[in-house]
Amino acid sequence: MQRKIADIDECRSHYAGFEKPCPIAGHSVILVAIPLAPGHILHELSAKCYGIGCLAAPEAFYSVAAYYLRFEPNSDAQVAECLADGRCRARRRKMSQDAEGR
């Protein structure tokens, strides 16, 4: 179990770019955005989340790959790059809002 926790911490550090997580003390935050999910799973998730975004939720669901023309795995580097890009966009948006006095 300790090894799994260490692996998770290592992945979190890699994907987060060694940034501190957003402060959420005193808040309950669950954000879920997925392109596809089995209908019964989406129903279960919806009961546990404040909001969920899902493009399709077919009841007859066999595999994610069946719904894509190309379904190739992403490398850790690609995931880290996407996460970093999202953080940069969020920072720019915040800086712009601060400059506008929002």
Q: What is the pLDDT of residues 52-81, one digit of tens each?
A: 888 888 888 888 888 888 888 888 888 878
The percent of residues above 90 in pLDDT, for the chain, comes to 0
- At 2 the pLDDT is 76
Mean pLDDT is lowest, of 4-8, 35-39, 88-92, for: 88-92
- At 20 the pLDDT is 64
Token pair of 21 as six digits:
């997580």
Q: What is the DSSP string of 13-56?
A: HHHHTTPPPPP-TT----EEEEEE--HHHHHHHHTT-SEEEEEE
**What DSSP character marks residue 74?**
P
